[in-house]
Amino acid sequence: MPQNPNKWWVKNSGTKDEDEYTFYANLIGNLTLCAVYDNSRMGNEDFNYKKQILKKTLHIRMNTEILKKRTWTKDDILKRCDELTEQIIRIYPYNGANAIREKTHLEVEEDRSTWSLNTPTVSARAIRLDDGKIEVMSGSVMKEYSPREMKKMRKLYLDLDERGYFHSLENGRSQFTQGCVFDDLNTAAQFLMHRGGENTAAWKQDSAALKEEEIVEEAAVAAAEDTKETKDTKPAKKQNAKKKPAKKTPAKRRTAQKKAAPKTKPGKTEKRVFRAKKEKPAAAAQGE
């Protein structure tokens, strides 16, 4: 239901007046995800036109249920509000859910509530229910069963497909359109992976996956800091390093000594002595 209804929505929304229409139009059950461009295209067009545009958003899992609807009235919005609320409580359990579920005690181990299974042919998430069973969540993807594969599991697959549990994708893949309950993790893994035997270990707790991501991220940050410190230290060593004096050869040493020796100029006394005339020998005494 658009914020600004046209005549079609006023007639087919099931609301009595403008105030009631505004109330239902702003509930979470009337909201979904799509691209800005698609949202502008839908505008306040009728429901069938909007579904044609939403068909291009099947990668957004929450839109698959909307596409199955033939009408979109206030009753459909209220029903979707309840469905979204239940999914939020299952994915993010909290003690306040007791009032909604009308139970006295609801014990949920957060680190074991959600699981992931990722292989080349499977991309699935599951939650542990109160009775210990496992529900494979809507939006999970698996490979379709071929005629020659596990008879029991293939029969279950065909039964679920007839009941509308799957939406066919490209490359022989099927996507869950709603949650599907199994007795335990191993049975769910066998069905999803087309493989018998013990497969519980194929599931991975989401909390453990987050911890691993945090460890990898911390290691990457530490490595980046070490690299930065190494780069900052190397130039400092070059600046502080003293150059060793080059070795001098004997020829260079003599040249250096000549340059270092002080030059002396002859004094005035030395000049006088140098310039004094030599005295002639005395004349012989007469009469000798």
In a shared domain, residues 190 and 130: yes
Residue 84 lies in a domain: yes
**Contact in structure between 98 and 166 (CB atoms under 8 Å):** no
Residue 244 lies in a domain: no
Closest of 13, 7, 53, 6 to residue 30, by C-alpha: 13
Find the helix packing angle between 18-25 and 74-91, rounded to 10°: 30
In a shared domain, residues 51 and 84: yes
Residue 70 lies in a domain: yes
Q: Which residue has the tokens 């530490």?
A: 222
Confidence of residue 157 (pLDDT cuts 50, 70, 90): very high
**Contact in structure between 150 and 189 (CB atoms under 8 Å):** no
Using the 3D structure, point to which of 174, 207, 240 is the last residue of a domain. Answer: 207
Residue 53 has a pLDDT of 83
Using the 3D structure, point to which of 160, 182, 207 is the last residue of a domain. Answer: 207
Residue 177 lies in a domain: yes
Helix, strand and coil percent figures for the chain, each rounded to 5 = 50, 10, 40
Residue 14 lies in a domain: yes
Residue 38 lies in a domain: yes
In a shared domain, residues 182 and 114: yes
**Contact in structure between 12 and 73 (CB atoms under 8 Å):** yes
Q: What is the 3-state secondary structure (H, E, C) of 199-234?
A: CHHHCEEHHHHHHHHHHHHHHHHHHHHHHHHHHHHH
Long-range contacts of 131-135 (CB under 8 A, 24+ apart): 132/184, 133/181, 133/182, 133/183, 133/184, 134/181, 134/182, 134/183, 134/184, 134/185, 134/187, 134/188, 135/90, 135/179, 135/180, 135/181, 135/182
Q: Which residue has the tokens 């059950």?
A: 29
Q: How many domains would you assign to the chain?
A: 2
Window from 25-29, 139-143, 242-246 with minimum mean pLDDT: 242-246
Does pTM top 0.85 for this prediction? no
Q: What is the DSSP letter of 32?
A: -
| pLDDT reading at 263 higher than 70 | no
Confidence of residue 110 (pLDDT cuts 50, 70, 90): very low
The range of the structural domain enclosing residue 28 comes to 7-91
Confidence of residue 207 (pLDDT cuts 50, 70, 90): low
**Contact in structure between 121 and 146 (CB atoms under 8 Å):** no
Using the 3D structure, point to which of 91, 118, 143 is the last residue of a domain. Answer: 91
Residue 170 lies in a domain: yes
